Amino acid sequence: MADPRIEVTFVGPIATITVSRPEKLNAFDLDMLKELSAACDAVEANGEIRVAILTGAGKAFSAGGDINAWAAMTPNEFGHAWVRFGHRVFERLATLRVPLIAALNGHALGGGLELAAAADIRIAETQIKLGLPETGLGMVPGWSGTQRLVRRFGAQVVRRMALGGEIFSANEGQALGLVDHVVETGAAVAAAQAYAERIAKRGPAAVEVAKLMIASANGEDNGTAIEALGSILVAKTADLKEGVSAFAEKREPVFKGEW
Q: Using CB atoms within 10 A of its CB, is residue 131 exposed (0-12), middle (13-18) or buried (19+)?
A: buried
From CA 15, how far away is CA 128, in angstroms rounded?
Answer: 24
Give strand ranges (E) for 112-222: 121-125, 129-131, 168-169, 181-183
Q: 106 CB contacts (<8 Å, ≥6 apart)? A: 25, 26, 56, 58, 59, 60, 61, 125, 128
Active-site residue flag, 258:
no
Contact call for residues 122 and 149 (beta carbons, < 8 A): no
Q: Which of 91, 114, 208, 220 is catalytic?
A: 114
Residue among 208, 90, 228, 63 nearest 147 (CA): 90
Contact call for residues 107 and 63 (beta carbons, < 8 A): yes
E strand or H helix that includes residue 125: strand 121-125
3-class DSSP state of 16: strand
E strand or H helix that includes residue 175: helix 170-176
Q: Which of 35, 91, 125, 134 is catalytic?
A: 134
Residue among 92, 142, 148, 140 nearest 117 (CA): 148
Active-site residue flag, 114:
yes
In a 13 Å sphere around the CA of 149, the CA atoms on its Cβ side amount to 31
Q: Which amino acids are annotated catalytic?
A: 114, 134
